[in-house]
Amino acid sequence: MKKRNTLYRIPVMLLTMGITLFSACKKEYEIAPEPYTEITSFKIPYNAGKDTIVAAVEGETIYVSWPGSTEWPIPETVAPIINISKNASISPASGTAIALKDGLQYQVKAQDGTLKTYTIKLSNGALLPSFQDEETQVTAIVGQSNFSIRMNNLALDGSDDLYLVDDQNKSYKLISNTFTTFYVDQQDGSGIPAGDYYAQVINKFSIPVKSSKKFITVPADQSLPYVYFNHTKEWQVKRGEIINLPARHLTKASDIRVVDLKYTEEGYPNSLRLTFLGISDDLKSIRVQIPEDAPVGLTSDLGNGISIRVRLDQFYEQATPYHAYPIKIVE
């Protein structure tokens, strides 16, 4: 019996020693501090989180390239989302709002106390619109359909809105024509009061840029008529038919010389001369006649579909704003 007990005792002792050694090794591994101080990713959400800039981290430099766009300049603060080495810490912490600028530094501290400093290298491609000349006074005639001011960095997609702002900070939004031209009128056709105004551009993210001086003048007792469409489906007209085209800012003195229907043929702009017959008594439309020999099937352009030539102190080409339903000539 004693011999038998001895045989069992040896494996038990070996097992106990193994567990003790394993525990000692495991304990030593867990407490070993880590020396890693890497930034593994650096991202900047913007546009209410809809877009993200991914920075490049090389060595001790964080390269941030802000998008080259006129629509979203660098805001006052951003909150970068940063991933770093395991068990390390970073200051400022991930998600902390900071004023993004060239030379801003982040410091990563490893578990063993090792420090590494990263410096932001900022390339700012975003440029806000700016006014080229605020010294020269610009005249904006009510109804003028191709009004423009000299500006830099307007959005190419036409998303920038132009406002005239008075001394009481009341603003009047102009109707967009092209991405660089506007109608001196409000959407409802109520015009703009006479006076001197600041110019203000607001982009689709509601970021405003206002001129430092009032350099736009809307003169009193002057207006330019333009045709506008309000029909809700394709307007079919016959050759030789007399129609009334709705118009804004007509006066009895409106001197209309030419009326053209604008269309595109084989990719090229073209026009059809309409016969101008007169202005309606209520000053709300002009009367024109479609030529007897007008091409059947001809369809007006959606933008600037009707153009009129008006004489004031000079000749002005006044075109219709964009409208989804064209005029089409039928039999």
pLDDT category of residue 71 using cuts at 50, 70 and 90 = low
Examine the pLDDT at 283 and tell me if it is beyond 80.
yes
Q: Which of 8-12, 187-191, 244-248, 280-284 has the lowest mean pLDDT?
A: 8-12
As a whole-number percent, the residues of the chain with pLDDT over 90 amount to: 75
Cβ 301 vs Cβ 285: under 8 Å: no
As a whole-number percent, the residues of the chain with pLDDT over 70 amount to: 89
Coil/strand/helix, residue 161: strand
Q: Which of 30-39, 214-223, 274-283, 313-322 has the lowest mean pLDDT?
A: 30-39
Amino acid at 218: V
Q: Give the distance from CA 18 to its chain's centroid.
A: 69
Judge residue 197's burial from the number of C-beta atoms within 10 Å of its C-beta, 0-12 exposed, 13-18 middle, 19 or more buried: buried
pLDDT category of residue 70 using cuts at 50, 70 and 90 = low
Examine the pLDDT at 323 and tell me if it is beyond 80.
yes
Domains and CATH numbers, the chain: 39-124 (2.60.40.2340), 134-218 (2.60.40), 226-330 (2.60.40)
Higher-confidence position of 222 and 71? 222
- Ordered DSSP codes for 42-108: EEEEETTTTEEEE-EEETTEEEEEE---SS----S-B--EEEE-TT-EEESPTT--B---TT-EEEE
What average pLDDT is seen over the chain? 89
- Residue 30: the pLDDT is 59
Cβ 81 vs Cβ 63: under 8 Å: no
The 8-class DSSP code of residue 205 comes to: T
- Residue 178: the pLDDT is 86
Could you read off the pLDDT of 149-204 as tens digits, one per residue? 999 888 777 888 999 999 999 999 999 998 889 999 999 999 999 999 999 998 77
Higher-confidence position of 37 and 27? 37
- Residue 14: the pLDDT is 46
Could you read off the pLDDT of 92-107 as tens digits, one per residue? 999 999 999 999 999 9
- Residue 3: the pLDDT is 47
Examine the pLDDT at 259 and tell me if it is beyond 70.
yes
